Every structure is written in structure tokens, then in C-alpha cells.
Chains A and B, each alone.
Chain A
Amino acid sequence: MGKKLRWRVLLILLVVVGAIAGYVWTGYRHAKKEMVGDGNPSMKDALKKAIKLGLDLRGGIHLVLQVNTADAVKAERDDATETLQREAKAAGIGPVEFPTDSSFTVAVTPQTDLAKLEDTVKRFLPDWAYSTGGGKWTFTLKDPSRRLIEDNATAQAVETIRNRVDEFGVAEPLIARQGKDRILVQLPGIDDPKRVKDLIKNTAFLELSLVESGPSTEDALKANYSGDQFKILEAKAVSGSRDRLYYAVRKQAVITGRDLKNARPSQGQFGAHSVSFFLTAAGSQKFGAATGANIGKQLAIVLDNRVQSAPNIKDRITEQGVIEGSFTAEEANDLALVLRAGALPAGLTYLEERTVGPSLGLDSIKKGIRASVVGALIVFVAMALYYRRAGWNAIFALILNALLLAAAMAMFEATLTLPGIAGFILTIGMAVDSNVLVFERIREELRNGRAPKAAIENGFSKAFATIVDTHATTIISALFLLQFGTGPVKGFAVTLIIGLLISMFTAVFVSHTIFELEYGRRQHIDTVSI
């Protein structure tokens, strides 16, 4: 064996051993991470878990949400209006109107002190541009401020969703912002689509406010409690009853979700599910003062503008309270969770949703593997029949290709999807192309009367440029598939690209080395089995 050849064999062996070790080690790491408790995962587990499976094989949920940033802008508008009404009282202003979500108008009367109003606006509403005319001032949110508010709303929504998903306990979630106002959420292994969707979308805006009157009908309350100090809210429907009940509550909340330190599901008398919450120090102080001063009155627990319950205040409460309502175990659990994780700054809309149940994934894997094995075996048989000994050389290269591809996928943490399995099979079909190109060239050289050794050398060197071309074209088109972002197709592209890159190594370098091992040692060869 020549010195050069020895190095090549050594390199191939190193790569193979490295690939096997890398595969097993990655699998072992994954299996260990998934294991509950102590102990070591079995070899079988390690082999199974080495390659990360996509949602379509593993089961899970893929969601694309839109943050309704207009909500955040509207909240900012309401804030600004309130500020203006409070601060410009001395200047004397007329009624406020809202032509759009991001603007408002203030009527000016002859009594209005315009200079004072302008001064107030400059001091308190720096983010708003205003124009005058038609007996009113029109305020619009300045563009940079608006963009900032929208941007913050999306960023905050991502954080809130991340908190909630983490609390729910999902292994390897993916939560990523996409563009201006979209969020991609991928939760592998989750099989409760409805529950998770509700959990993510729940705005969870909690307010505890004093009740002025109620429960009563909407009309009765509207007659007595209009004005900017109160708001009239619907109560959560009691099961079995069709009547809608309403409460008039004070607009200024005693405490909100922001004052919460913790929340957890609890069970009251008769096993009813409820949620207990615990307040921060500042929250306790506010709560204590308000409850102490209002003993005997009702306190409304308002969640997303709906009164959950309105218990009587029996005593001064400081640190904790309970939210009751006819919850199921999982509803109580999830409400506690979203209260802990914080409120969303704006509403969310689901733009895309893909759920794959656990059993479909299993089916797909089985079918994919069966198709791969059958496809590969047919190719192997064809190669062995057509090229005889050289065919075995190609088969070895193909098996090595599959092995290295699996190891590369595991070590790069690439995700295998159902189309990815198709990519795997396709790689086998396409990788054989390189072998065929070389073998046909060798046969041609032999036909043209070249000596066997020279024919092999020429076969490899002449086919090389073409092999590079064929690989480059497929890889270029696969690269364009990567931009789709959605898992399955991306998985296909990744598998194909890695597989083809590896086939450059196996079909050219490894295959050539095997030929040399077989024929290179002998001084003279009469025939090549091809």
C-alpha cells in the first residue's frame, strides 16, 4: 500500500468512526435530557433519539400569530385622552371624540383657554401631533412613536408567550418574531391544540375593582352609572342560566395583574377549582387600604373585562385572594399560569395553525422508513447486477453516504421531517449518479483500449467536473427552498443539501480509494470487474 493510499484509508476510517461516535453521543445526550429521574439511557434509546424529528413526525403544534398592534395604539390613545382630560381641566375643554384608533379630537369652546391647553399638550403629550380647526383640536399619534408602540407590543407579546409556554412545560419550544407583527410558535410533542391555543391567546388582563352596584340588568345600571368614573361590565355566565348579569364598577382599579407576585390553582370547599393569588408588597399595601376602607362592599374580580365573581369584603385583606368561578381543573391551572406569566399587551389572531397528533407522526415514520429501505435495496440490487464488483463498491459508498448523512443530521441538530425522509431517499438515488458517471467513464476508457489502471484513473478524473456540476445544480435549487421557513419543506432542503455534499466525498474519494485498494497493489491487471 502506498503512503498516500494509507493516509486516505486512515482518513476514511477516522470519518466513519467519528460519524458513528458522533451519532451515538448525540443520541445519548438527547435521550439523557428527555429522561425523567436518574440512570442512563439504553443504547436503543440513544440510537432512536439521535436525530431531531420535526413536528410532522414527532407530533406537535405550529402556530403563526399576528399581534393586533392596533390594540396597543388604542390603549395609548385612551391613556392620552385621560391625561389630557385630567391636566387640561383648568383650561376648560369640550367633549372628546375618537374618529380612528390612533387619533382623537377635543372640542374647544369660547371659554377654553387656548394658551393653557397648548401648554398642557406640549407638556404631557409629546408623542402627539395636533392640528386645529372646525372648533376642535385633532390629535394624531406621531409616526415614530406609533412605530415604537407597535414594536414594543410585539416584543412584549413574544416575551409573554415565552413565559407562558415555559410555565406550561414544553421541551424545546420555538418562539420567534417574524417581521413587524407576527410571531411563530412551534411546540413539539404538544397534543392539546385547543388548550395551548387558548393559553397563548388569553390576554389575562386582571383587575380588582370596587363594585358600585350590581348584579343587575345593563339598562338599569346605564341609567345611574354613566360617566367617566364607572364602567359597566358583564358577568361570567352562570351555567344553565340565560340571563346576562352586569355590574357597575369603579373605573380606577384597586389592583391589577401587575401587582401579582404569584398565582396557583387551588381547590375550595366541595372540591371546586379556583385560583389563589399573592400580591407584591406594594400591591398588598394598596389592597389592604382599599379593602379596609370598604368592608361590607362587593369587590369585582375582573378578567379581560368580564366579572368572574364579586365577593363581599368581609375583612381587610392584604396579601392574597382567591378567584372563584366554575373552573375545570385545567382551566384553573391555566388561569394561574397566565396570571403568573403576565398579561399580553395586545390581542392575538391566529393566522396559521398546524397540529399533528402523535399517532400520525408514528405512521409517517414507519412508511417513510419502509419506502427508504425498499428504494435503497432496489438500487443496490440494480448496481450489483449491472456493475458486478464495482457495483459493490458503489453500494458501500451509498451505505456510507446514508450513515454519514444520519450522523451529520444528528450532530448539526438538523431536523428530520417527512419530506426530509423523501430527501434522504432521493439522495441515495442521486448519489448513485456520481458512481454511474465514473463507472461508465471507466468502461468507455476500457473499450477505447486503455489499460485497466489508467482507465480507472481517467474515469475518475474525467467524470469529476461533471460530478461537481450535477451536485451544484441540485444544491442551488434546494437552497431556494430554505426560504420557505415552514418546517417540513425546509427539512427536505436541508437533508438534500447535506446528503449531496456528503456524496461528493463518498462517491468520489471513498469509491476511488476502494478501487485503488483492490487494483492498485497489483503490478499488472488484466480485467476490471465493472
Chain B
Amino acid sequence: MEFFRQTNIDFLKYKWWAIGASWALIAVGLFTVFVQKGLKFGIDFSGGTAIVIRLAERPDIDKMRTDLDGAGLGEIGIQRYEEPEKNEVLIRVQQQAKEGRDVAGEVLRALRQSLQAETDPNKIDINIEGRATLAVRLAAADPDHVAGKPDVNPEEHYAQAAERVIARRSELGLFRSPADVDSVAGISDAVKAWIKPNTVAGPFVLLSAENVGPQVGKDLQKKALYAVIWSTIGMLAYIAFRFRSLPFGVGAIVALVHDTLITVGLLALFGREFNLIVVAALLTLVGYSVNDTVVVYDRVRENLKTPKKEPLEVVINRSINQTLSRTILTSGATMLVVIALFFLGGEVLNTFALTLIIGIIVGTYSSIYVAAAIVVIWNDWKKGRKLAVVPAPVKVEPPPAQPIAPATPGKKKQKGR
């Protein structure tokens, strides 16, 4: 199968249109970021708390909001998370003025009250407490009567039992009542009999809790910015080293900045949140953008080596056509896996995948219409000033109809095996 057999599209004819389109997209993005919505930072950068819980019942978001508003934690956002039938809820709390406040603990306490969970200091909540606490309680009660037996370490014995109980909870999603421990395999009936009266099954399980203080948020912001800037500089250095030509380097970097700006702008437009994982995607994009550009450039350079005298624009157009099949195919392959990730990877990776989807499209386009176009424009401009920088021979004839010449044996040195 072949999609692009010897295409001969005059890509660069439309370069000014493309440049206009790019500017328009960048403008939309910048408008969104600076005028309209601004960048929506996740707690990694803005600081604050994010808690995800899974509830036994369908959550009444409005009631939860009212009850949590009374907890004195400032602005609180509550939304459904993942698939609705899982009864999962994401709770966000704004950054607190004071460092080190146990926001997650306060939210959970307020939630328990809101959901009217049973509170008895002598009973532990098997949906909230972890292995270690259950193990200590079991060891203190010793339902299996292992204390004092020479061949059993009671701590280890009950740690194992607790481990099995919690593992079962993960499988079930949550315990609906302490009687659910009957379905735990590998623990004694005595342990089950102890658990049932001495524990309660609370209304929710804690899936994750993240709390980022103001200092760490600021640190991470700085680090993210530096990472993007430094990797751009790294790319610049690499291109300078590989191509030793100013217009090529400028073209690649402009394309890279172009891709980053458009992607960030579109993410803002879609109301997506910026967190560390999105920065990871952006940096991957920086690499990907240059990667794509380099493939076109490599071919341009190779084509410039042939003694044929052709205008630069023709050579570049031919190079783009020659690499077109590869460009579409690899972008397509990467796109396929990223789309799989977008639909199947879950909430955390969703924005990551979207960033890459936008980035791959924009990056592929910019290799042609930004990186390559800039080299042509630069050359035209220099030529206007009678100063050829790119080693492009002078124009002698109009572009040939069939740009790919039949191979002449012996023209290129063939490498031996």
C-alpha cells in the first residue's frame, strides 16, 4: 500500500497564507490566555488541595458543597470524576494562606459529618484506615490467640490479615458494611468475627489526596518555566551544531516556539488544566517539533549537495514532497497511540494526550510551513540584498515538471556492507 507516491505539491506557494493562519491561531491563544480566561493552573503550580474519593452512594454534590463551605477553607470546587457510575468525586480546595495546614484531613472530617458517618472512637473505619492501623488493632485484640506462641510473630500474623482485608477492599471498590469481610480469603473466622462489631464501613474511600503548599507551587512553576526555556536552548544548540546555518536554526526555533504557543493557547481555550504532566507533554512536544523539522532539513541539505542548479524554493519543495510520506506516516503512528491514550488512559492522562494530539498536528504542519518557509523567506530576503547565506546555487531554469530524477549509477558513493 502507498498513499503518497511521488507527490509534487507546491507547498511553499501557500506559505504566506499559512503564516497568516499561524498568526491567527497564536492570536486566538494569546487572547484566551491574557484577556479572556487566563491559564488554568492545576494544584501543582497554583498550590491547594485536590482530593478524590469514591462514595458508596450516588453523591449529592450540592449538599456536599454546602456542608464543605461551612468548614472555613475558602473556595471549594466539587465535580464528578471519571465514569459517573463509579460515584467518584474530585474536591478541590484553594490554596491556604498558611503553610502546612492539614486541609485534606479537615475536608475528610467535614465530609464524614456531612454524610453522617458513624463516629465511635473505639471503632475504626475500614474504608478509611489503612493496613497498619487495622493490624495494630487486631494485634491488640488478638482474636487468633497467637500472642506468646513461639512459632508465630503476632505483628506479622495480623499485618498479613490486614493486608488481605485492604486488598479485598481495593477489589470491591469499597466495603458497604463490615459484614463484607466475610468475602476476604485467607483470614480466620475469629478475625472476621472481631472485625464485624469493632469496625464501621464509612461512606467513602480515599482514592488520592494531594496538597501543595504555596512555596512548592512557586518552585514548580519556576522549574517548569526553566525546563521549557532550557530545552528550547538545548534544541537551539543541537541545531546549531548539526546544521551550522543561521536560517535553518532560526526556522527550527521559530517553529518550536510557534508549536508551543499554539498548543498552550488551545489548551487554555479548551479550559484544560496545566499541571506537571502537561508540562511533560509540552517538553515532549518540543522534542517532537524539532524532530520533524530536522527530517525535512536533513533532506534539504542532502538535496543541496547535488550539483544540479535549482532555486532553493524548488529544492525545499522537493524535499518536503520526498519526506511527506514519512512525515504523515510517523505523525499518524504516534497519533494513533496518543488517541488510544486519550480515550483509554483515564482522567490523569487525558490532558497529556490532548496536548500531544494538538502538538503533533501543529508540529507536523510547522515543519513545512514555518521551519521550511522561513529558510526560503530568509534566502529571498538575503538575495534581495545580494548576499546568499544558504549555499543555494542561483536560479537558472524554471522548476522541472518531474522533480525526481532517475538515479545515475556511480553518482553517489554506495556504502559497502
Contacts and interface: CB of A to CB of B under 8 A. Distances in A.
Interface in B109-128: 121-122
B280 A436 contact: no
B332 A469 contact: no
A355 interface: yes
A500 to B, nearest CB: 9
B325 interface: yes
A152 to B, nearest CB: 22
Given A419-B352, A436-B326, A355 B206 contact: yes
A351 B208 contact: no
Interface in A447-469: 447-450, 454, 457-458, 461-462, 465-466, 469
B396 interface: no
28 contacts: A64-B216, A190-B132, A191-B132, A197-B102, A328-B121, A354-B208, A355-B206, A359-B170, A359-B205, A360-B52, A360-B208, A363-B346, A368-B349, A371-B349, A375-B336, A419-B280, A421-B345, A426-B338, A433-B330, A433-B334, A476-B287, A477-B284, A477-B286, A477-B287, A479-B234, A481-B283, A488-B277, A489-B280
A378 interface: yes
Contacts of B332: 382
A465 B227 contact: no
B143 to A, nearest CB: 13
Contact of A195 (B52, B130, B329): B130
Given A357-B205, A477-B235, A329 B286 contact: no
A333 B136 contact: yes
Interface of B: 1-2, 6, 52, 54, 99-100, 102, 104-105, 121-122, 129-133, 136-137, 139-140, 156, 159-160, 166-167, 169-170, 173, 205-213, 215-216, 220, 223-224, 227, 230-231, 234-235, 238, 242, 276-277, 279-280, 283-284, 286-288, 290-291, 294-295, 298-299, 302, 322-323, 325-326, 329-330, 332-341, 343-346, 348-349, 352-353, 356, 404, 406-407, 414-415, 417
B205 A192 contact: no
Nearest to B294: A469
Given A351-B215, A473-B287, A375 B337 contact: yes
Contacts, number: 278
B233 to A, nearest CB: 10
B333 A353 contact: no
Contact of A477 (B206, B234, B325): B234
A378 B291 contact: no
B326 A352 contact: no
Contacts of A164: none
Interface string A184-221: 00000011111111000000000000000000000000
Contact of A349 (B100, B298, B349): B100
A109 interface: no
A267 B141 CA distance: 11
B276 A466 contact: no
Given A350-B100, A379-B336, A484-B227, A195 B295 contact: no
Contact of B212 (A267, A352, A457, A479): A352
A492 B167 CA distance: 27
Given A374-B340, A473-B238, A362 B170 contact: yes
A75 interface: no
A358 interface: yes
A448 B404 CA distance: 8
A354 B209 contact: yes
A387 B41 CA distance: 44
Contacts of B102: 197, 350
A483 B280 contact: no
Which 4 A-B pairs rank lowest in CB-CB distance, beginning with the nearest?
A191-B130, A375-B337, A192-B130, A375-B340
A443 B322 CA distance: 11
B325 A195 contact: no
Given A360-B52, A360-B207, A474-B288, A378 B337 contact: yes
B352 A191 contact: no
Contacts of B1: 385-388
Contacts of A367: 344-346, 349
Contact of B211 (A350, A357, A476): A350
Contacts of A113: none
B173 A426 contact: no
Contacts of B356: 426
B208 A192 contact: no
B336 A382 contact: yes
Chain A interface, >50% SS class: helix
Contacts of B130: 190-193, 195
Most buried by A among B280, B291, B407: B280
Given A470-B295, A477-B234, A458 B414 contact: yes
Contacts of B294: 466, 469-470, 473
A322 interface: no
A469 B298 contact: yes
Contacts of A444: 322
A294 interface: no
Interface string A254-286: 000000000001010000010000000000000
A80 interface: no
Contact of A470 (B131, B279, B284, B291): B291
Contacts of A477: 231, 234-235, 283-284, 286-287, 290
A419 B349 contact: yes
A428 interface: yes
A31 to B, nearest CB: 15
Nearest to A516: B417
A262 to B, nearest CB: 16
Contacts of A404: none
A422 interface: yes
B72 to A, nearest CB: 19
B181 to A, nearest CB: 16
B284 A473 contact: no
A71 B298 CA distance: 61
A477 B417 CA distance: 34
Contacts of B209: 193, 353-355
B334 to A, nearest CB: 4
B235 A371 contact: no
A486 B345 CA distance: 21
A357 B284 CA distance: 29
A448 B6 CA distance: 11
B104 A426 contact: no
Nearest to A486: B276
A107 interface: no
A493 to B, nearest CB: 7
B213 A351 contact: yes
Given A376-B337, A379-B336, A419-B280, A473 B291 contact: yes
A128 B348 CA distance: 53
A354 B54 CA distance: 17
Given A360-B52, A429-B337, A478 B283 contact: yes
Nearest to B332: A382
Contacts of A425: 337-338, 340-341
A412 interface: no
Contacts of A352: 211-213, 216
B101 to A, nearest CB: 9
B323 to A, nearest CB: 8
Contact of B344 (A371, A382, A387, A429): A371
A350 B417 CA distance: 62
A346 interface: no
A67 interface: no
A434 to B, nearest CB: 9
Contact of A353 (B210, B299, B334, B337): B210
B330 A426 contact: no
A475 interface: yes
